[in-house]
A and B are shown apart, each in its own frame.
With several copies, the nearest count.
Chain A
Amino acid sequence: MSFKTRRSAGDGKFGEYGGQYVPEVLMPALEELTDAYERYVLSNEDGFMDELRERLRDFGGRPTPLGRADRLSERYDTEVYLKREDLLHGGAHKLNNALGQVLLAKYMGKERIVAETGAGQHGTATAMAAAHLDMPCEVYMGRTDINRQRPNVFRMRLNGAEVNPVTVGRGTLKEAISETMRDWAMTVENTHYVIGSVVGPHPFPSMVREFHAVISREARQQFDEQVGGLPDAVLACAGGGSNTMGTFDAFLDDDSVSLYAVEAGGSGLGVNDETGVAPNSASLSTGTDGVLHGARTKILQDPDGQIVESHSVSAGLDYAGVGPQLAHLVDTGRVSPVNVDDNAALAGFHRLSNTEGVIPALETAHAFGFIEENHEDLGDRVVVNVSGRGDKDLETVIEETASHDIENAPDMDVFERMGGL
């Protein structure tokens, strides 16, 4: 099948992955959603896609640019191009999906939105979309993530959303998703759950990918117009995998283009048997086949099948699962799963900031950690998706840079002396 023309939602399976492992109470809503996805999104019923495209342009700021990174290109002797999703309204690629889903909820006659958020980027994007489209919105966010992404908590509140802290477990994205599913199980009749990545039960992985596919459609065309032809490699960081799938989608059939999903290596690969914690979020690289949050996919689990706590310096990658389609693309060899650790990501953050004048999200920074070490293997022309901007991460960067001794960073003492942000 060509990846470019879809008219059906399919069966929700990507090889062995995918599916709908959710409580019965949600199944009718998933059927309704699948139907709405096929009609409005895939068939543009009632001009849904026209309206979405217009709003993404006028409210979101699409198309986002593709620009050459002059100094990195020189540094690596490789043409490096940046796809600038950090310029999308809200500061990350997340709005593509959030606006799509909130608009879809409106077309479906829903009256309320719930969402989970990790880094807070999906939460802010959803809150913005909900404000824009006049929908009440509640966002579940883990306590740990609330602490490390405070500006985003505040932004959601400003946009009129309620932010519900989740205190279960480690209080990160995994727990927030579980908690949002619980809310949805209660409110499913009038509420739409705007899931934040290509994860969860069918039709979410397909639908979220479809909303983000605009990234690669634009990038592919921009590259051809501005540079000519196709890039040799395309890189995107992967947590749940929404920006990854969005960045890869239009290139999937282009066999000459290598696709790299860069995961968070955290402070080390593997699972610490003692603590039961994976000091990383590299489910594509180190996870195993299992069922989490409604889908079969690659997950971080112990031998019994208990989900382990993941870790990453970037809240948005800190998740024990990954989208089922991405897991499948890794199994078939189409996508290469790679990862870099926290320190390399921090160094990548500082490098992009001070050589290109683009302050990336810590999630995005992983891709720049990877290119630093591997540029010789990536061919002559590389596109990297800048999935978000780093404003939300300033506090974390100050702390982590000071405590980790990152070579290319500016002196952090100044800010510590100022008493932080």
Chain B
Amino acid sequence: MSLESAFGDDPAFVPYLAAGDPSIEASKAYVEALDRGGADVIELGLPFSEPIAEGPTIQAAVVRALQAGMTPPRYLEFVRDLNVETPLVCMTYYNLIYQYRDESDRGGPDAFVHAAADAGVEGFVVPDLPVEEADPMRAACDDAGVDLVSIVAPTTGDDRLERLLAISSGYVYVQARLGVTGAKDDVSGRTAETLARLREYDTTLPKAVGFGIRTGDHAERIVGAGADGVIVGSALVDIVAKGAETEKPTDAVAEQLADLARELKAGALQGRMAVEPERK
């Protein structure tokens, strides 16, 4: 299943977790719980020591995952071992991709993208790789037949938007607000604005909105504003963090994750009904 087609008639629910947070084992169970919870695409973070695009919640997750021993090779193993149906997107920073060396000592994007594709990854989001620097990564993804998802920010002007859409595949990651990842308590007014601007471009790419979505209600409003999907990270990671702190059993945490996933998914569906009542 290709990424684009994971966005079907219904709005997509795209959860994020950091692989290996707070341990390899628990993390596996959590990703699988999201799958059960109705995820349409899962963004699985490969932790990098300098996550400049992340807020405190995901930074902490990255620290936990690194401490649990997560590395790029182990990440690939982790993906291979996962028992999920949902397409997986690898979210990481460019240096890890750039440094990667495979067994035959092939290095860089080409090596990593192929290894990841082999393991089952279907796309990439690389927050510190703007269109200006994306050529090698784009080429590797094309070669491996996987997607490279671009991020569109509220600050992205029309000229940039055009270039961005031209190289993005799978979906477009619409950053809902300024700043870094992190669950906020409101919905940014700029999301609707960005979505409206995107509608003026001739693209078939689904538009998934992330940054600051934490409840079913948020999801509903975002989809109501025209999004094709909602990306939710920090709100889920919060559950993982609390579980790690209180040493809650993995199963219980997984169940909470699945619950929130269901709420978010339901919210998204709700939102779609508001815009396109005729379709139901």
Contacts and interface: CB of A to CB of B under 8 A. Distances in A.
Q: Answer yes or no: A and B touching, Cβ < 8 Å.
A: yes
Contacts of B178: 25, 185-189
A305 B100 contact: yes
B154 A25 contact: yes
- From DSSP, what is the main secondary structure of chain A's interface residues? mixed
Contacts of A186: 178-180
A298 to B, nearest CB: 12
Contacts of B98: 290-291, 296, 305
B128 A188 contact: no
| Interface bin, chain B | 35 or more
Given A188-B178, A290-B99, A293-B50, A21 B155 contact: no
Contacts of A307: 49-50, 95
B151 interface: yes
Nearest to B96: A305
A157 to B, nearest CB: 24
Given A185-B179, A185-B180, A301-B95, A23 B53 contact: yes
Given A291-B95, A305-B95, A20 B132 contact: yes
B48 A306 contact: yes
Given A20-B133, A168-B59, A290-B98, A25 B50 contact: no
Contacts of B209: none
Contact of B155 (A28, A182, A291, A308): A28
Nearest to A307: B49
B52 A24 contact: no
B174 to A, nearest CB: 11
Interface in A19-43: 19-29
A22 B128 contact: yes
Contacts of B59: 168
Contacts of A290: 95, 98-99
A304 interface: yes
Given A178-B50, A307-B50, A22 B130 contact: yes
Interface in A337-360: none
B55 A189 contact: no
Contacts of B101: 303
Given A28-B156, A290-B95, A306 B66 contact: yes
Nearest to B177: A186
Contact of B130 (A27, A169, A181): A27
A130 interface: no
A55 to B, nearest CB: 30
A23 B128 contact: yes
Given A21-B133, A23-B53, A182-B55, A29 B128 contact: no
B117 interface: no
A19 B48 CA distance: 19
A212 interface: no
A292 B132 contact: no
A396 to B, nearest CB: 26
A29 B100 contact: no
Contacts of B96: 304-306
B72 interface: yes
A27 B156 contact: yes
A26 B128 CA distance: 10
Given A189-B178, A290-B95, A304-B99, A24 B49 contact: no
A294 interface: yes
Given A178-B52, A182-B52, A185-B179, A24 B95 contact: no
A296 B152 CA distance: 23
A22 B52 contact: yes
A182 B95 contact: no
Q: Which of B48, B50, B178 has the most CB of A within 10 A?
A: B50
A-B complex: 9 closest residue pairs judged by Cβ atoms: A305-B99, A186-B179, A25-B153, A291-B95, A306-B49, A305-B95, A305-B96, A24-B153, A28-B155
Given A27-B160, A304-B73, 17 more contacts: A21-B133, A23-B52, A24-B130, A25-B156, A25-B178, A26-B155, A28-B156, A28-B160, A178-B50, A182-B54, A182-B55, A294-B128, A304-B72, A305-B48, A306-B49, A306-B66, A307-B95
9 contacts: A19-B133, A23-B128, A25-B178, A178-B51, A185-B180, A291-B128, A299-B95, A301-B95, A304-B100
Interface of A: 19-29, 168-169, 174, 178, 181-182, 185-189, 290-294, 296, 299, 301, 303-308
